[in-house]
Structure 1
Amino acid sequence: MATKQNGPIVENATEARQAEPGPSILALLAISIGLAVLILGVVWFVFFRT
């Protein structure tokens, strides 16, 4: 548990690493997947279209 010692808050390593992923993580994931699908679509269209 986080404790306050002479002003600063002291946490152990596990508590310090527990962060909530914000909306920027979701946006990054969505953009990355979208770009991957777009690139694979272009590759398919150029090389495998019959």
Structure 2
Amino acid sequence: MIPKDPSRVVESATDVRQAERGPSVLALLMASTGLAILILGVIWFVWFR
């Protein structure tokens, strides 16, 4: 049982691990994927043309 402390928020380890990553992770994933596609496209046009 988690002790109740009125002066601070007390959460279990399971609750703490469920933090939301937020939109910054999605933006980073999209930017890195787009950059990888762009680089591969440039390499393909330079190498095969």
With the shorter chain as reference, the TM-score category is 0.7 to 0.9
In structure 2, the partner of 1:12 is 12
Structure (1/2) with the larger strand percentage: 1
1:38 aligns with 2:27: no
Query: What RMSD over aligned residues (CA atoms) do the two structures have, in Å?
Result: 2.1
Query: 2: CA distance between counterparts of 1:17 and 1:30?
Result: 24
Q: Please identify runs of 4+ aligned residues in structure 1 that moved more than 4 A.
A: none
Q: Which runs of 5+ in 1 are unaligned?
A: none
In structure 1, the partner of 2:47 is 47
1:27-49, CA deviations, whole angstroms, 9 ceiling, x for partnerless residues?
11110110010011111111122
TM-score with structure 1 length normalisation?
Answer: 0.73
> What percent of counterpart residues are identical?
62
